[in-house]
Amino acid sequence: MMRLVERTADRDGQLLLEPEYELEGWWTSLDEAPEAVVQRYQAHATHEQFHSEIKTDLDLERLPSGKFATNDLILHLAQLAYNILRLMGQLGMTGELSPVRHPAKRRRLRTVLQELVHRAALVSHKARQIILDFGQDIGRMTVLNALRSRLRYPRGSPG
């Protein structure tokens, strides 16, 4: 499969005196239309970004054990954590509850961890009790309460 791209402007919008040509080719055994194969190839960068997030943001560059069963368990737990953090990012970090930054369709896991999960806390000992105080960060609590209300089961449902 081949694709020829003619560029008459660069990334910044500057018009070129002569067009640039880029020829791409793929070997494939897929029984799909050429447009579908090209579209799959273009989505490859998105897949690489998700892979990068799993490795760096969840700190899984190297698996912890030499035993396959242990690494299998770690990867399954990482998959669960990844999906929960992605859901938190989609529900709590976009839209009207989003922190005051640029609007985005999705947030990286690192951003979700920094904005919603990593919290400073004060441990105090009073009256033979240990108290963990998270402070009065209204912005984060609003997002977390909105997440909790969105994820609540309807009455009568298991959970």
Examine the pLDDT at 157 and tell me if it is beyond 60.
no
Structural domain spans, the chain: 1-42, 56-159
Stretch 31-45: mean pLDDT, rounded? 82
Kindly report the number of other CB atoms within 10 A of residue 88's CB atom: 21
The reported pLDDT for the residue numbered 116 is: 76
Question: Which tokens belong to 126?
Answer: 């009073």
Highest mean pLDDT of the ranges 7-16, 32-41, 99-108, 117-126: 7-16
Residues of the chain above pLDDT 70, percent: 81
The reported pLDDT for the residue numbered 24 is: 84
**What is this structure's pTM?**
0.59
**Spatial contact of 59 and 24, defined as CB atoms under 8 Å apart:** no
